[in-house]
Amino acid sequence: MKGFLDLPYRLPFARHYKEFDRGFYVDFSVQLKRMGRWFREYGCRRTLDVGAMTGGCIEYISRLGIRMDGVQFTNDLRRLADVQLRKSGTASTLFVSQVHDPFRLPRGLSYDGIVTLGWLNLPFSAARLRRMLAQVRRLLAPRGVFMFDFFDFEKVVIDPPEALRFGDGIVHAAYTQRSGPVLRRYHVWIPGGGGARLEVSDLVDRRPRAVRALLAEAGLKIVRAEFLDLNYPRHFWLVRKD
């Protein structure tokens, strides 16, 4: 789908997702600890990570005594996460839902806490955002909480052009440019056997005022709204279903 990545969520590239997005993960532990603290503070016992990648967040939250299931964007990621979680003895149910429609899950599920990171800046239309926030609300138990982050372009970090080669021979090159409200990144992946593959990803400027309006329309009350001054500065909010 235009503006959305797919290759980083598929093998063999998915093994290197942290290197592809190392600017985000370099200080992610700060946000992860806050996430765990908020889940405990609001009494969450059954939670869901939408965009769980290989399961690192699931492992961390589970060690706090909180059950966490996960949504993977591809079957390849689910298999990688399943191996990792089995090694650590972590109990979790993993679902698959594509990145451009990540809340399409089986009926009957209910969670008292949901988290998704990097989602709100994806190039969804306003109508799609409203529909997905409605899906989040349906998944939440009464008084359940939803955590998410987003950045606005006042604090945007534009990475310089870069190229990385990994031990298995895979090469990833990327170039980022800003055009108005869109941050566009051009990616070239070259597998160890050769044959370049190109994808283009878009991130859209989201300002707090617009996000507040979407949440109000969805019936989700803002409870915590913090700004994290990390390598990629971003807002981190918690909202509640009342």
Total-model pTM: 0.93
Question: Rounded to an integer, what distance in angstroms lies between the CA atom of residue 242 and that of residue 75?
Answer: 34
Question: Rounded to an integer, what distance in angstroms lies between the CA atom of residue 3 and that of residue 200?
Answer: 6
Distances (CA, A) of 158 to 81, 98, 127, 184, 233: 30, 26, 28, 10, 12
Q: Report, at the CATH architecture level, how domain 8-153+205-241 is classified.
A: 3-Layer(aba) Sandwich (3.40)
pLDDT tens, N- to C-terminus, the chain (242 residues)? 688 999 999 999 988 887 777 777 778 899 999 999 999 999 999 999 999 998 999 999 999 999 999 999 999 999 999 999 999 999 999 999 988 888 888 989 999 999 999 899 999 998 999 999 999 999 999 999 999 999 888 877 788 898 989 888 999 999 999 989 999 999 999 988 778 999 999 999 999 999 999 999 999 999 999 999 988 889 999 999 98
Question: Rounded to an integer, what distance in angstroms lies between the CA atom of residue 3 and that of residue 84?
Answer: 29
